[in-house]
Amino acid sequence: MNLSPNFSQTFLPDRRLISLLVTFAEKGGGGNKREISELTGIPTGESTGKVEPIIYFSFAMGLIKASNDKGVWRLELSDLGSVVIKEDRYLKESVTLWLVHLLLCRRQNLQDPPKGYADAWFTLFADGKYRLPETFLRGDFQKLLLERYGDTSYLTSLSGVVLNMYFEDACMAKAKVLVKSDVVEGGFIKQPAPTDMSFYPAYAAYLYLLWDDYFIQETQISLRDFAEKTYCFAIMGWNDLAIEHWLTWMVDKGFLQIDRYTGSPIILRLESTQKVLDAIYSELI
């Protein structure tokens, strides 16, 4: 499913509404947007409403599979969604929020020019890694969107949705993905993904899901190629030391084998994706 740049309309990804939709998908739910609204309690209207934006967010976050045929939706849980709904149905854990954030920002495919599932988020956190200053203004972000989409009417509202969701308690504020600058008025600073070991299994799931998306036929790949093509470490905001600590943990857990004798390290996956997904919450106390 290809999402339009403005798929969110003006709506934020409210965790409560995502939970309602994912619970609905768990039951194999479907229908048109009005029927889904009646069955889930997610508000909608004739020409707008939250049902379809919440479907799009849940899909881009990797929680559901979704298809639409003439206005009728068919929804089901993804493998990740099945784990999340069992362990953290209401998306309260920071581990969950960081994982769905990383997936929301991921690249859609390996075609050029690079594009994200939720392309405005990909623009900010992947492309913006190299094109935005460390402390950036909303106007800086809007310039990137303008270059990408042209002078469309929704750029101001879209930039607001992307930034504001990380400061709303009902959405992603707990994860602290973005913080406001104390020095530059109106400035935002992207935070690196937490390096606490309790988050490491979620990042393992992230790596395996990206591998399945882009390199499903490969059992091993150059770490450099993986990082450059997926933008994974750019989105995570990690330096070489953070990457090395996590990779060492991955090897110790038996998730990866690393060959460092061929120039760029070669990573070899050793487990099934499902086993890695099942371990997402294994390090939480």
pLDDT at position 188 = 99
Q: What's the CA gap between 180 and 182, in Å, rounded?
A: 7
pTM: 0.96
Lowest mean pLDDT among 29-33, 116-120, 138-142: 29-33
Q: Residue 285's pLDDT is what?
A: 73
**pLDDT over threshold 80, residue 46:** no
Query: What pLDDT is recorded for position 190?
Result: 98
Report residue 36 as tokens: 């889904």
pLDDT tens by residue, 232-268: 999 999 999 999 999 999 999 999 999 988 778 999 9
Residue 66 has pLDDT above 70, yes or no: yes
What's residue 264's pLDDT? 82
pLDDT above 80: residue 48:
no
Per-residue pLDDT, averaged over 208-226, amounts to 96
What pLDDT, on a 0 to 100 scale, did the predictor assign at position 181? Answer: 97
Condensed to tens digits (0 to 9), the pLDDT of residues 53-65 reads 999 999 999 999 9
Averaged pLDDT, 1-21: 96
Q: Which domains can be identified in the chain, with CATH numbers?
A: 15-97 (1.10.10.10), 101-190 (no CATH), 197-278 (1.10.10.10)
Instruction: Report d(CA 276, CA 202) in Å as an integer.
Output: 8
Answer whether residue 47 shows pLDDT above 70: no
